Amino acid sequence: MSVIEEIRRLKEEKNAVILAHYYVPDEVQEIADYIGDSYYLSKAAQKTDADIIVFCGVKFMGESAAILNPEKKVLMPDMAADCAMAHMVQLEKIREMREKYEDLAVVCYINSTAEIKTCSDVCVTSANAVKIVKNLPNQNIFFIPDGNLGRYVAEQVPEKNVILNDGCCPIHAAMSAEAVKREKEKHPEAKFLVHPECTGELLELADYIGSTSGIIDFVAGDEGKEYIIGTEVGVLYELKKQNPDKNFYILSDNQICADMKLVTLEKVLEVLKQETNEVKVTEKVRIQAGAPLEKMLMLAK
Ligand code: 13P
Ligand code: SF4
From atom 6 of ligand 2, which residue's Cα is the shortest distance away? 83
**Range of the structural domain that residue 184 is part of:** 175-250
Average pLDDT of the residues in 201-219 = 98
38 Cβ inside 6 Å of ligand 1: yes
% of the chain surpassing 70 pLDDT: 100
The total domain count for the chain is: 3
Same domain, 120 and 74: no
Question: Cα–Cα distance between 249 and 230 in angstroms, integer?
Answer: 9
Same domain, 68 and 105: no
Query: Based on the number of CB atoms within 10 Å of its own CB, is 251 exposed (0-12), middle (13-18) or buried (19 or more)?
Result: buried
120 Cβ inside 6 Å of ligand 1: no
| Backbone angles phi and psi of 135, in degrees to 5 | -90, 0
Residue 119 is predicted with a pLDDT of 97
Same domain, 209 and 221: yes
Q: Is position 183 within any domain?
A: yes
Same domain, 92 and 69: no
Q: How many CB atoms lie within 10 A of CB 182?
A: 14
Question: Cα–Cα distance between 89 and 113 in angstroms, integer?
Answer: 10
> Which ligand 2 atom sits closest to the C-alpha of 84?
8
What's the pTM value of the predicted model, to 2 decimals? 0.96
| Backbone angles phi and psi of 287, in degrees to 5 | -70, -45
Same domain, 99 and 245: no
From atom 4 of ligand 1, which residue's Cα is the shortest distance away? 37
Average pLDDT of the residues in 224-235 = 98
Residue 208 is predicted with a pLDDT of 98
Distance 186 CA to ligand 2 centre (A): 28
> Which ligand 1 atom sits closest to the C-alpha of 171?
10
Same domain, 75 and 89: no
Helix (H, G, I), strand (E, B) or coil at 271: helix
